[in-house]
Amino acid sequence: MRPHPRADLLVVGVAVTIVVLIVVTMPYVPCSAVTCGPEPLTSVGISLLAAVPVMSYLHRWSAVVAAVVCAVLWPIADRIEDVGMGWHVALPLVLLAVTVAVARLRYPAVVAGAGHSTGDLGDVRRERPPELERLPSITRPVLVGTFLVGAALAGITATLWHQAAVTAQEASSSVIGAVVREHHETRIGVDLDNGDSYYLEVFEPADYPVGSRVEVLVDDAGLRQLSSEPYDITVLLLPLVTVAGAGVALLVRAGSRRRVLRRFLAEPQPVRAVQAIDSGVEIVVMLTEPATAARQFTVRVEPVPRAAEAGPATLYGDPRPGEWCVVVIGRQVRVPRRPIGKVSKIPYELALLMRAS
């Protein structure tokens, strides 16, 4: 059965709660007390926290894998980069547990208000679906997924390369003492011991009281940086890792759908006579037997140039959310593009009227 669509909001809620909890409960340590150096592993871990909800919407089991990596990476990053997260490193385990639960959650077997199952309605024969001329195209999701992954990896590589280059520049620079002269918005004015004066960007100017001494990294290439706040652009990994996760989820979803459809076509499926309205890009299917179970749902199909038409058709498959179905109209087998979505109950009188027409 199809995963319950609203369940993904639970993953989003847990991820947001973890972020808020970290922001509220993590003690603030000024960079003047502990050098605020680049933390690429921690940045990737935080990025995965954002990527998991996005991936859950696209393909839930790929989101589970991302949550596993997140849960493993956090304690490693905390130990290597000495972030001091303490008990917070266990928070991704909560996200992992919720993501697994959501990935396993499916639509209930009974549709609300219907009073009975959306699966087999009465005794129906089972036959293998007719052979499709071709499987639905997955070129678009594969191209989009590949582009997202490629672009994100290129961005991640460029970010880490630039960060490494600047870190090497800082390591080879001169360290000159200075005195804080003034605060100016997000910058502090400093007077260097060699007589030069500069304004330097800092995280929090109040951490550097006027008159306090600081150390400034200086080189001939124009580097002017507090030694306690070295250059750090690893925050750019947040959108890049999220985009890469979305691309991976798209690729996995495309492959998973293709694999499930092949299995569907290889096995006997329930066969029913239905009424269908074919618009060329989708088919609205109405199932009117038995009398208490009039159903309507839409099958997205490979587009064909034709005017909308209605008439009797044959349905292969169970009319349940998330299941594949094949519709045969006359002798034409329509190629489904994706599993069916919502299955609605319609007034039986309307179903009979449309069947008669």
Tens of pLDDT along the chain (357 residues) come to 455 667 888 999 999 999 999 989 988 888 887 888 888 999 999 999 999 999 998 999 999 999 999 999 999 999 998 888 889 999 999 999 999 999 888 765 444 334 344 444 455 788 888 888 788 878 888 999 999 999 999 999 999 999 999 889 988 999 999 999 999 888 999 999 988 999 998 888 998 999 999 999 998 888 888 998 888 888 889 999 999 999 999 999 999 888 888 898 898 989 988 888 888 888 888 887 655 557 788 888 888 776 667 788 889 988 888 788 899 887 788 888 888 878 877 765 555 555 555
What residues have CB less than 8 Å from 223, skipping those under 6 apart?
A: 169, 170, 173, 217
Encoded tokens for 53? 């909800």
Residue 194 backbone phi and psi in degrees, to 5: -90, 5
Strand intervals (E) in the chain: 126-127, 174-184, 187-192, 197-201, 213-218, 224-226, 269-278, 282-287, 295-300, 309-316, 326-329, 332-334, 344-345
Return contacts of 323-327, CB within 8 angstroms, 24+ apart: 323/1, 323/2, 324/260, 324/261, 324/264, 325/285, 325/299, 326/129, 326/130, 326/132, 326/265, 326/269, 327/274, 327/276, 327/283, 327/285, 327/299, 327/301
